[in-house]
Chain A
Amino acid sequence: MAEPRADTLRFQDPATARRMADALARAVGEIGRAPVSVMHVCGSHEQAIAKYGLRAVFPRGLNVIMGPGCPVCVTDLPEVDEAVALAGQGVRIFTYGDMLRVPGTVKSLADAQAEGAKIDVVYSVGHAVQLARKSADECVFFASGFETTAVATAAVILASPPANFSVLSAHKYIPPVMEIVAEMPETRVEGFLAAGHAATITGWGIFERFVERHSLPVVVAGFEPLDILAGLLTLVELVRDGRAEVFNAYPRCVTREGNRRAQEVLWKVFKPTGGRWRGIAHVPNGNLRLRDEFASVDARRRFTIDLTKLWDYAPPSLAQSCVCGDIMAGIASPTDCPLFGRECVPDNPVGACMVSTEGTCRIWHQYGGHLNLGEENR
């Protein structure tokens, strides 16, 4: 066969994409009612959908909702507050770039940075460790992201990080929030498109119990335009045929068992605990926290984090009308928010969904607040 590089190009072939879109339209038509609503739970899917203009080729009558798949957007205010408070206590904070401008109860890490706090953006937790080795400060990695990213944090914790390094975990675990969304009475989600990279770690077998419990199909899909179209086509076919099953449309990366080694590393370091996801709900087992054996690298146990000083201020009032949560639950669109594109813009975000490059509001704003073709038929 040809070099995979050439094949990757084929994953973006426009003619195939067009044929795939036609097939998708036919399958939606065969269901005979509109709209058919499916949800993806991955910011990368939304980015690819926007970047390649896929919404324009989705058939009328198909509503592709972005669920709680942006890790930045679901990071809860008090979690940001903890990082801001630590920074205020003189600790050096490392964070992924997206987290910098997410508003906390009172301020963001960017605000703290402007006030002189030591905050550095890193592209990898490995990079954070390298910087910590060179630093005389206490260094805390503010760890956000889902299981795929949490595995990297876990690997670093197991690889003897320097003594001045610890982790403030805001890591989240996707499968439990799918349960929450599926059970919300207002959501009419008929199937889920699961994220290929998370499933690379966990394996697609993890969705079998979900499918049984909720009688909803799940299709695991990759991130090239054709991966997404093929995933949606399969998902709509399963909806049409009333088949609640798991289908792996990303076999080049995802197996039933997943990456066992990564799972061992993940669960050795982290345990799932219940916690709030911003705007969504309390999600049982939705947060990943360090196990007791790793207390010495757990910033929450290593430092006394004083949040009361921060909370002397009143919470910003605009943020209270942010409907990010409803958007992520699939019951609202950014255009339903009175602040969208007015008070809330990427340069001056009110909600986290406008901050992150994976946030629905930010993506819609960036790509012209485009119309969701699926919604026109309602």
Chain B
Amino acid sequence: MCLGVPGKIVSVEGTLATVDFWGVKREVRLDIVDEPVAPGDYIMNHVGFAIRRIPPDQIDETLALYDELLKAMSEDDLMAADVRGEINATEEKKRG
């Protein structure tokens, strides 16, 4: 019931979009999506409603976060502290 599933927008008609979920097409309402969406965009679906347009660059960002975390763990402590500091700085920028 509460799994958010990402899908690609095929077409938009008013507050209704046709969305491709890994080959299955479904209608999704756009009443509460955070930003205007267009065909080709990826959205996060929740119980038939788009709740978020997923910016492609943020997918990259997440992967980068994993890489940094792993790097931080495999280096010796000083290095780890350094990298962790950097992640925190980036995060702080994002938070601020």
Partner-B contacts on A (CB < 8 A): 1, 4-5, 7-8, 10-11, 16, 19-20, 23, 26-27, 42-44, 47, 71-72, 96-98, 123-127, 144-146, 148-149, 151-152, 155, 158-159, 195-197, 200-201, 222-223, 226-227, 230, 233-234, 247-253, 256, 259-262, 265, 356-358
Contacts and interface: CB of A to CB of B under 8 A. Distances in A.
Given A251-B65, A251-B94, A265-B32, A125 B48 contact: yes
Contacts of B52: 200, 253, 259
Main secondary structure of the interface of A (DSSP, over half): helix
A224 B66 CA distance: 13
A40 to B, nearest CB: 13
Contact of B32 (A7, A47, A196, A259): A259
Contacts of B60: 1, 7
A124 B49 contact: yes
B42 to A, nearest CB: 5
B44 interface: yes
Contacts of B29: 126, 152, 155
Main secondary structure of the interface of B (DSSP, over half): mixed
B60 to A, nearest CB: 6
A96 B2 CA distance: 11
A25 to B, nearest CB: 10
Interface in B54-96: 54-56, 58-63, 65-66, 69-70, 73-74, 91, 94-95
Nearest to A249: B65
A96 B32 CA distance: 20
A358 B2 CA distance: 9
Contacts of A158: 31
Contact of B46 (A11, A97, A148, A234): A148
19 contacts: A4-B6, A4-B54, A7-B63, A23-B69, A23-B74, A125-B48, A144-B1, A152-B46, A155-B49, A158-B31, A159-B15, A197-B3, A249-B65, A251-B61, A252-B55, A252-B61, A256-B94, A261-B34, A262-B34
Contacts of A149: 1-2, 46-47
Given A149-B46, A152-B46, A259-B52, 17 more contacts: A1-B59, A4-B59, A16-B66, A20-B66, A96-B1, A124-B47, A124-B49, A127-B48, A148-B47, A152-B47, A159-B15, A196-B4, A200-B44, A222-B62, A252-B59, A252-B62, A261-B33
A23 B74 CA distance: 8
Given A197-B2, A234-B69, A259 B51 contact: yes
